[in-house]
Homo-oligomer: A and B are copies of this chain.
Amino acid sequence: MDRPITIREVAEVAGVSPATVSRVLSGSTRVNPVLRAKTLGAVERLGYRANRVAQALRTRVTNTVGMVVPNIANPFFPVIIQAVEAELHKHDARLLLCDSADDVAQEADLLRSLLDQQIDGILLSPCDCIASRSAVRMAAEQVPLVQIDRVAVRDLHYVGVDQEAAMAAVIAHLAEEGCRRFAYVSFSVRASTAAERLRGYVRHVRRLDAKSAERVYSGDVSIAWGREAALRIVEEGDLPDAVVCADDLAAVGVLESFRREGIAVPEEVLVTGFDDTILAPALTPSLTSVRQPMEEMGREAVQIVRSAARGGPPPRRQLFSAELVIRESSRRVRAASRRVSPYSARAQRPRSTARTAR
């Protein structure tokens, strides 16, 4: 493990000054072709590779972007992370990944730590739409910061989808399937996405059934919570027409509990998820869910952070359109048993951009 080659040694071997080596490699200035060739020869012969840390110290750019997400293991995030990493790699930049474990203090810590690293920018999915604010603002003052999926500070960069509209599409679809009475299984509304989805749920369900708008079960993002919530719904002895879940993991738990309790989905109750994770199409019944263009979002976030680093446009909200992916879990099978037939005119004209899968 001997010392790596330095630019100084390359210069010596090439018989030029370190400055010239630097100029050759960065291509910043015209260099005498002869010296240039000698330099490149030496670089090649010695296998020289520039020390990025030294470069970073001098130039103040690290070509590194920090990313903080609430839970790496939630299958929603890896897809975004992958897209982000791929896009960064294209530009010879790297990803410093952190997991805030949905904890505001930890999140603030991580942001400070990333700033200490002199990262060029931050991609953040803030865990708490209120409590995360101060840390987010602090970080954004120092370095370009893009909120992704979740948002805490409205007037900073944000990449995501209109959650409320997406939830409206879910409810519209369920209504078309004949549902009138709903229950909602959410994760903590401290997450902006949960709050917005809930708002969408309440606003659109209220018109159909006032009581349903209040039938909200709030927990965390986990299968266990979905199980638990479904059990509560069953115990209350008042099965709704549909259980709307704020995330796929909850829906997995809900489906599981319903099966164990002998409640048939979609025959007796419809179920929907959110995020269209890898789980959704794999379940039985396959799960209707809302797909966000995660890859695009990841790419776009990187592009914004990079352009902001070069003094790009002022912060803006970049909203992508979500897509309702309708699967078995929300398709009424026994049309006759419902007040509104799913084959009615209304059902033929979906209100949202929806495609049908599986």
A contact set with B: CB distance below 8 Å: 1, 4, 49-54, 56-57, 62, 64, 71-73, 75, 77-79, 81-82, 85-86, 89, 92, 94-99, 101, 110, 112-113, 115-118, 141-143, 223, 252, 256, 259, 278-279, 281-284
Inter-subunit contact A85/B72 (CB<8 Å): yes
Q: With A53-B62, A54-B57, A85-B99 given, can you name 19 additional A-B contacts, CB distance below 8 Å?
A: A51-B116, A51-B118, A53-B53, A53-B57, A53-B117, A57-B57, A64-B117, A72-B81, A73-B78, A73-B278, A75-B278, A77-B78, A82-B99, A95-B96, A95-B98, A223-B282, A259-B284, A278-B279, A283-B283
Give the chain B neighbours of A54 by CB distance below 8 A. 57
Q: A278 CA to B249 CA in the complex, in Å?
A: 10
Given contacts A57-B53, A116-B49, A282-B256, contact A98 B85 (CB under 8 A): yes
Q: A51 CA to B53 CA in the complex, in Å?
A: 11
Inter-subunit contact A53/B56 (CB<8 Å): yes
The 8 closest A-B pairs by CB, nearest first: A284-B284, A72-B82, A97-B97, A252-B282, A78-B78, A53-B56, A53-B118, A52-B116
Give the chain B neighbours of A89 by CB distance below 8 A. 98-99, 110
Task: Give 17 A-B contacts (CB < 8 Å), ordered by A residue.
Answer: A1-B143, A4-B142, A49-B112, A57-B57, A64-B96, A72-B78, A72-B81, A73-B78, A78-B78, A85-B99, A92-B113, A94-B98, A95-B96, A223-B281, A259-B284, A279-B282, A282-B283
Residue of B nearest to A285 (CB): B284
Q: A89 CA to B226 CA in the complex, in Å?
A: 30
Residue of B nearest to A278 (CB): B75
Inter-subunit contact A96/B94 (CB<8 Å): yes
Give the chain B neighbours of A50 by CB distance below 8 A. 116
Counting chain B CB atoms within 10 Å of each CB, which of A82, A92, A113, A115 scores highest? A82
Q: A85 CA to B99 CA in the complex, in Å?
A: 7
Chain B nearest CB: distance from A308 CB in Å? Answer: 11
Give the chain B neighbours of A252 by CB distance below 8 A. 282
Residue of B nearest to A142 (CB): B1
Chain B nearest CB: distance from A50 CB in Å? Answer: 7
Inter-subunit contact A49/B97 (CB<8 Å): no
Inter-subunit contact B82/A52 (CB<8 Å): no
Counting chain B CB atoms within 10 Å of each CB, which of A64, A73, A259, A283 scores highest? A73
Give the chain B neighbours of A52 by CB distance below 8 A. 116-118
Given contacts A52-B117, A117-B53, A282-B283, contact A1 B141 (CB under 8 A): yes
Chain B nearest CB: distance from A119 CB in Å? Answer: 10
Chain B nearest CB: distance from A25 CB in Å? Answer: 13
Chain B nearest CB: distance from A8 CB in Å? Answer: 15
Chain B nearest CB: distance from A99 CB in Å? Answer: 5
Give the chain B neighbours of A256 by CB distance below 8 A. 282
Chain B nearest CB: distance from A79 CB in Å? Answer: 5
Q: A283 CA to B282 CA in the complex, in Å?
A: 7
Give the chain B neighbours of A57 by CB distance below 8 A. 51, 53-54, 57
Give the chain B neighbours of A86 by CB distance below 8 A. 99, 101
Give the chain B neighbours of A72 by CB distance below 8 A. 78, 81-82, 85
